[in-house]
Amino acid sequence: MLIQHTFDEEKHLYLVEKQFVLSTSAVLSMNGLGLYQGVPDSVMANAKQRGKELHAAVCAYEEDRQLPEMGEEAHERFLAYLRWKEDTGFQVCGPCERTLVYEHEGTGFLIGGTPDLIGTIDGVLYVVDLKTCYRQSGKAQQQKTFEWRLQTQSYVEGLGQDDVMWETWGPQVMRRAIVHLHPECGIVQRGQQRLGYEQYLFTSDDADVWHAAVVMAQYKLANGHKLPDREETDEQD
């Protein structure tokens, strides 16, 4: 069962009375993932604004609301999202950017997260997270993909405790996807135009790796580790 909570959007804190909640991104950062030390403040500020605008536009579109104003970078990524949606037949079947808090099994630790989208592709249920960061390659992309696997594993674990959701949808496997939206993404071309997105569908069972990451975070906190500033972590949980 999910834990009742409130969410401080400005500080990005998941709040449960008299209990400590650690965000998914904080767990990742304490395991050496999702950190941006050395990135200029101006670049980080632009990335955060771009991500905020893109997520607001997607939520408005999926909830049949008027699209908000957005900058050029967010707009080109929004158009790429629409191409991805058309190409895959993705259908949203849950609330956008819903915050959740769950108890991680075996630790008693409370974890918070905010999945972007829940929906279906070819009748299969997915939790989907959207990324707007610059495209990487080689080892850097391999590490980033590993980070995304753990992030979405956290979401699956949390959503698995949503009793109301599963009463509605019935028993089935929830899969995980990352959609990376960037003009340079998409090696498949339509004429001379890139797709503007790359889709990552994760089929591996990362439950044990996520558990290890949570335990490591728990031990570090117990031994005086200071939580990283939100500015140093990824743009979304």
> pLDDT, tens digit, for every residue of 104-162?
998 889 999 999 999 999 999 999 999 999 888 899 899 999 999 999 999 999 999 99
Instruction: Tell whether pTM > 0.85.
Output: yes
Inter-CA distances, 28 with 9, 123, 178, 234, Å: 20, 31, 16, 10
What's the pLDDT band for 193 if we cut at 50, 70, 90?
low
* Tokens coding 73: 């970078």
Give 181's strand partners: 197
Q: Which residues contact 34 (CB under 8 A, 6 or more apart)?
A: 25, 28, 147, 233, 234
Q: Which residues contact 150 (CB under 8 A, 6 or more apart)?
A: 27, 28, 31, 33, 206, 209, 210, 213
> Does pLDDT of 237 surpass 60?
no
- 130-169 as b/e: b if 16+ CB within 10 A: bbbeeeeeeeeeeebeebbbbbbbbbbbbbebbeebeeee
Give rounded-to-5 percent helix, strand, coil for the chain.
40, 20, 40
Task: Report whether 188 contacts 84 (CB < 8 A).
Answer: no
Tens of pLDDT, residues 58-107: 999 999 999 999 999 999 999 999 999 999 999 999 889 999 999 999 88
Task: Report whether 119 contacts 174 (CB < 8 A).
Answer: no
Calpha distance 102→115 (Å, rounded) = 13
Give CA angle at 232 (182, 197), nearest 5°. Answer: 10
Calpha distance 181→116 (Å, rounded) = 14
* Tokens coding 105: 């099994």
Strands 124-131 and 91-92: what pairing? unpaired
What domains lie within the chain, and their CATH numbers? 6-232 (3.90.320)
Residue in 229, 179, 180, 184 with CA at minimum distance from that of residue 41 = 229
Calpha distance 148→145 (Å, rounded) = 5
